[in-house]
Amino acid sequence: MLDRRLSVAPMLDCTDRHCRFFLRQLTQRSVLYTEMVTTGAVLRGHRERVLAYDPAEHPLALQLGGSDPADLARCATIAAELGYDEVNLNVGCPSDRVQSGRFGACLMAEPALVAACVAAMSTAVDLPITVKTRIGIDERDSYQELVDFVRPVAASGCHTFIIHARKAWLRGLSPKENREIPPLRYNVVRQLKQDFPDLSVILNGGLTDLDQIAEQLPLVDGVMIGRAAYENPYLLAEVDQRFFDSPHPVPTRHDVVRDMLPYIERQLRQGTPLHCMTRHLLGLFQGLPGARAWRRHLSENAHRPGADTGLLEAALRFVPEPVTA
């Protein structure tokens, strides 16, 4: 059983393998999620590129985008063979591109199909099959309609629902606007937990600090954070101590960078460009003196031919290291 008290959301173009390894230097216990990977990319694309990960990333969930039960079952089987800890079905993304592929948030209108997808994956593998969704779509946003979605999907084998506490507008709003404009309704997610006590209900949406997370945890089974963790990753540094009773000391920002260097060196030897890794570290010193210089130095130089870990060591000089007693 995964401990989902805190997890980091799947974020397209953000939570790739390099980002996840970086986040793992900040929190050992939080569940991490891949970017959404379509079934087509798994079955007919460059599988190694889209599914590879470092063992240090565990506990790690693969988020899939798709709506064909047979294809999803095949992808879940591959995920199990590769050692992923969970398979998550995306029923929350509202983008036009995702809708055109008949997956994402538009599937909330087809609970029977989602149930069939979950049943196919649950039959194929022993991994937890979870669903990430919204509280509704368009005008279909009543609490009863959410219940009518959850009930058959739960009966098909999904025991964990990650609920973004906003509805999605499938037309008229961009994905970014869909993360900001529809109002947050935490009460809907909390009510769902009360009405389905045997399900694991994870709250997602709008949470930006650990105090907010602590306020919600007694009311739901876990909290998922997204953009806040990406834009200000050091937010995660105290998570293990605060929510998982970890005895390990909180890492300093400088320690995190130094711990990343061996990984970056390995990736450079394998041909990974430096900027593909350093782009995830830009927000590490957010709010501190020297943070702008840190970001600028990495942004302007990581693309240069021959750039290596010396660039990060040089960038660290712009941000004062904490003085210890």
Q: List active site positions.
A: 93
Judge contact between 137 and 95, C-beta under 8 A: no
Q: Which residue bears the tokens 């050992």?
A: 28
Q: To 5 degrees, how large is the angle CA 222–CA 223–CA 229?
A: 145
The residue type of 321 is E
Judge contact between 61 and 76, C-beta under 8 A: no
Q: Is the dihedral of CA 168, 172, 175, 178 positive or negative?
A: negative
User: How far is residue 215 from each of residues 23, 93, 225, 233, 253, measured CA to CA in Å?
Assistant: 23, 26, 14, 20, 26
DSSP conformation class of 320: P
**How far, in Å, CA of 115 to CA of 121, rounded?**
10
**How far, in Å, CA of 147 to CA of 153, rounded?**
10
| N-term to C-term CA, the chain | 40
User: How far is residue 314 from each of residues 267, 276, 311, measured CA to CA in Å?
Assistant: 19, 18, 5
User: Nearest CA to 224 among 176, 134, 166, 163?
Assistant: 163
Other beta carbons less than 10 A from residue 49's beta carbon:
9
The residue type of 270 is Q
Other beta carbons less than 10 A from residue 219's beta carbon:
15
